[in-house]
Structure 1
């Protein structure tokens, strides 16, 4: 494998003179040089003066063209692992952007923790895909991912110093998680090196065999490619096309993968011989393609137009394979300089050589928004149509990725609540839920989960789901959780369902101030055979209260203006809480009257409301009735 480490950093260690030479190679700006050196000296305090790894990570970021903030974050990226309070000092010394990047990278360390021998999270493609999605979903700034990838790349370069077991574990994780992530972000340079290093430790014999074949035939291959380049350059000059031509390096992992997938010997992998042509414009790309096909016979099955149909990670290029001299097949890639820049550096290309807020633009933000969906396309060799279908289905329902205390990753729809998480793990866990902790802090059941949250469901011994979980719109998001709760109530004793249904119906009749109502009339209107079956269905949660209220239209002759009364325990903020409910339901308050009885500690409230229909009235009455402090609420005739 070609060593791509910056030669300035060879044995740099703590040599301050070499360190200064390296910093000068990054930028001519004296102020930025001082900032980077200051960051190096700051990092030395927490690394026993050895910051070799941090410098190499930062050099990778510099090769990607990252700006000064990112370079400084690269130097400081792992010093807060055991000292979180350092973030404040980092912000004071180097600014909020640097501290946010460092904090983001520190949060990414959970990947290694999840994949250690204790948790063994990565079992299959689904688990790996969840981790990749979670990683990007947690990164508020995509440059956090770039720093993490640079960190992993330097770790892979230094992996030879570790034992075989660790080499294989980290190589497997890299090939499963980080290399595909680099690919999704279009970072080809980092992707191929991560893949080659991984293969070196996972398939050492195959790796050595292919490397030896490449080395033995290198001189002949280079001579052959130069012959092709000379002929093509002359043809392009005659056509008035200025182009940059080069032999394209073929990487060991991609050769091994093609041999394995197609059952080929090394000699049969024709794109070991490859040429890259970089021109100025898209029309020149197609003109060059025509010239290539005029010079050598093309293989029709080996042509791909990724300019008209870019890959999901926005990669663009023309690919063709032709029969060259001596009837040997070689591959040609044709692209513009802009396409080449994106192909080499992916999303990093949008920050290259830019400083400050100017590094963002609306078009780029829109492209980044699609990256989370792109990550869900797992098969690199799958049909593009498969990806598009996946993209369409996920476009309007982005997921969040949360963890159990044991490190299991669960993906849920955006806006999911702790109960959704509990039922996703196991229905019995949901039934026994009695509270929740998120990131070791107690939160209410209507807390909206975020990617990266560690969720611990607090339980009681007996299964006891609550009916109000179904009626409160901010307690559940997923249909699966709702169905589990409804199914639980269906299985309970029918007598209890009837009692519960009677209680709920009586509450509704009281709220609407309907008296002397014959329940068998309601059963008949709803096409239910008996009163007990009706009450049991209400008790099981199969019939919504608003649906029942709709049947009372004849009993009430509702007007646009309705009086309601509330009796409640007197408490501070009661009026504001009820008024907020009216506001949330878009119900207009025409008049209000309030009295309190300090002896009884009771509040007596009267409201004149403007409502559109009985369904709207029922909804607000039931919502008020669900308040713990409310003793009674009803519609006044």
Structure 2
């Protein structure tokens, strides 16, 4: 170990066990790196070769051939010199006496950090991992990756190990192959590194299920369209059409991998013959608009298969992948998939996040996929720098590995994990219950959106709050997380109690006023005795029960004034109609409800009816049911609208219209022009000339309703409008 800490390390002789591989690496690096950086990578090889001197792989080769091969894989992605140095030295800290301080001194702290990160990952070993253990492995692995390049080194390391897996024992091959399919291939997919992903999957499948791999490979090779002349014919016809359209392009054939075929057969319970897009072509063009031009060209050669077109250019995948996908009816009985993309989209699709280094010095004009991938990396790096932890990186990478969850960024760069289909409101409650209770809107990727907006993984979410905001019952329809649902229900229950206490207080005051008394004039000891007799701990509980219809206010008033037992009222004791009515704003949640039989709105003459357990149900005075309710005067509550009523109230309109196309759209437009929302539309009657529609709409008050009706009546296709 001391020999590696001497300052004259550069003067030490260096073994050269793989000169050809190193020279090939240097030639590749010289294509895109300055000469001084190429020398730095060469220096890393010299240090690594001496550190691993005498060590052999299972295959019998010098151990240093593996780190050089890993660096060569990363050089194909055109990664920076620091990454390549760390790749060559990635096993040195664990398997040799080379200290970290020597790497820092000889290269840089960043290179030492990268090597140390990969070393820590290598020390994590799991035997017989279950799904939870695999998730735990991913968390630990990526939590320690303070630099994105650590993962790239690890993926290249795993890919070369898979290429040389035959030298391992059978049990080790199966363990490593399973780990590759469960962990490393999905990580490569999430990072958009499709070339790495495809090879990792194929090698893992072949090692884990050699017979299944062989059977599928033989079946694919024996398909008619696989004959060279058949492929050549399809390719020639497509190329000819593209040339006629004067489209500059490159056209290459591609075959779906055995692993992709196997997983599709397994997941969709299909036979190999039913797996459609086995064979295909990739068309690469310079510009985005030429992608759609090329799409029209290939559809003119072969008819497209219905329902199999996907536009990932307009709507990229989460990892930034962009391309047009279409499946054609091929000339030999086998459908052919065609992918169409630009050159930059193709680079990002193959290299994924590694394209960040390839394009980091590029000017304007980068593709949307490239920009999206770079923004994602930048957000990750900012997160790690501000939080001082890489656990967030894992949570984001888990996106595609665990599709039942979405992972989102807070404005501070933290990661929130939420259930699938979570909304901005779920996110607000995940941040803090108080944030959720006072949320009014959200900014998702800096765009203002409603709280009910569903979130997608990788988005940045900021919640906008207001002190006056509070949950409503409809919020329960917007959330999927248990935390949000529980918090909203708790708030509504507490709010319901507060509103019930307030309304019960007003109802009891009105009943006491009818008896020429008031709550202040009732002796406190009598109130205490009454609460004890009725088994209430506090007066608030009694008042809430009054509002909820479980206690009649007139009876409670009689007991308070006269001290009588809780007996039914006699005719002589029934309350007289007081002059003061209870004023409502419509916001008395959980206590007041508005009758579905008459749909009262502000401006209507109203009354309340106490219904046990439901509280006060508000009716219009001209509601047909009021006649029956008046037979129970002790349950009737005189009410009126307060001046400060806000909110929307439901109304049902019956509209007779001409029975012809486009009428519904005209009526809906008239409603929308009146700033009213449509909840539902139903056809009640219909004949050859006249249709009857019922619109459920929301209005603020009677004047608003009148404006809506006027606009509808102006339509020439409308015969009559009536409020139900």
Shorter-chain TM-score category? 0.5 to 0.7
The equivalent position to 2:40 in structure 1, one of 35, 44, 51, is: 35
1:377 — aligned with what?
A: 399
Residues 382-417 of structure 1, C-alpha deviations (whole Å, 9 max, x = no match): 6xxx66x654899985269xxxxxxxxxxxx999xx
Q: Could you tell me which of 52, 58, 62 is aligned with 2:65? A: 52
Secondary structure, counterpart of 2:91 in structure 1: coil
Backbone CA RMSD of aligned residues: 3.9
User: Match for 1:187 among 170, 189, 193?
Assistant: 193
Other-structure match for 2:217: 211
Instruction: Give SS of 2:284's match.
Output: strand
Deviation at 1:239, TM superposition (A): 1.9
Q: CA deviation at 1:135?
A: 2.8
Pair 1:91 & 2:104 matched: yes
Deviations 1:442-475 (A, max 9, x none): xxxxxxxxxxxxxxxxxxxxxxxxxxxxxxxxxx
Aligned partners of 1:274 and 1:332 also within 8 Å = yes
Structure 1 residues 371 and 310, CA gap change in structure 2 (3 angstroms): farther
Offset of residue 127 of structure 1: 3.7
Equivalent in 298, 307, 310 of residue 304 of structure 2: 298
Query: Whole-Å Cα distance in 2 between the matches of residues 164 and 219 of structure 1?
Result: 36
Counterparts of 2:283 and 2:230, CA distance in 1: 16
Larger RCO of the pair (alpha carbons < 8 Å, separation 6+): 1
Residue equivalent to 1:103: 116
**Cα shift readout 1:312-331 (whole Å, capped 9, x = no counterpart):** 11111111101021343110
Indicate if the aligned counterparts of 2:224 and 2:230 stay in contact, CA closer than 8 A.
no
Partners of 1:309 and 1:362 in 2: CA distance? 16
Q: Choose the corresponding residue for 1:323, options 313, 320, 329.
A: 329
Q: Give yes or no for contact 1:298–1:323 (8 Å, CA) kept in 2.
A: yes
Q: Normalised by the size of structure 1, how large is the TM-score?
A: 0.55
Higher mean Cα deviation, 75-84 or 144-153?
A: 75-84
Query: What is aligned with 2:699?
Result: none
Quote the Cα distance in structure 2 between the aligned partners of 1:37 and 1:48. 16
Q: Deviations over 1:21-47 (max 9, x none)?
A: 442233254433332222112112221
Q: CA deviation at 1:211?
A: 2.0
Q: Look up the SS of the partner of 1:171 in the other structure.
A: helix
- 1:99-148 Cα offsets, whole Å, 9 max, x none, are 1211211122243x2x13xxx5x322x44334324433331211100000
Structure 1 residue 365 displacement after superposition: 0.6
- Distance in structure 2 (CA, Å) of the matches to 1:161 and 1:414: 50
Q: Structure 1: 5+ residue runs without aligned partners?
A: 1-11, 401-412, 416-478, 480-523, 531-637
Q: Given that residues 299 and 321 in structure 1 are in contact (C-alpha distance below 8 angstroms), is that contact kept between their aligned partners in structure 2?
A: yes
Aligned residue pairs total: 389
DSSP 3-state at the match of 1:48: coil
Deviations 1:165-197 (A, max 9, x none): 111111111111111111111111111111111
Select which of 263, 266, 269 maps to 1:257: 263
Q: 1:56 to 1:224 in 2, by over 3 A?
A: same
Whole-Å separation in 2 of the counterparts to 1:414 and 1:26: 46
Cα 1:397–1:528 shift into 2, 3 Å? farther
Match of residue 23 from structure 1: 26
Q: Confirm or deny: 8 A CA contact 2:284 2:346 kept in the other structure.
A: yes
In the alignment, what sits opposite 2:92? 79
Counterpart position of 2:130: 123
Superposed, 1:356-435 pairs within 5 Å as 364-366=377-379, 372-378=394-400, 391=408, 398=415
CA contact (8 A) 1:398 1:414 kept: no
- Give CA-to-partner distance per residue, 1:301-357, whole Å, 9 cap, x none: 21111111111111111111010213431100011111111110110011127689x
Secondary structure at the aligned position of 1:277 is classed as strand
The answer for unaligned runs of 5 or more in structure 2 is 1-14, 55-61, 363-370, 384-391, 418-429, 433-482, 484-530, 539-724
Deviations 1:272-315 (A, max 9, x none): 21010111122111121122222211112211111111111111
> Corresponding residue for 1:423?
none
Residues of 1 paired with 2:413 and 2:361: CA distance?
Answer: 33
Rg: which structure is higher?
2
Change (3 A) 1:56 1:83: closer
Query: Aligned partners of 1:254, 1:343: CA distance in 2, in Å?
Result: 17
TM-fit CA distance, 1:374: 4.1
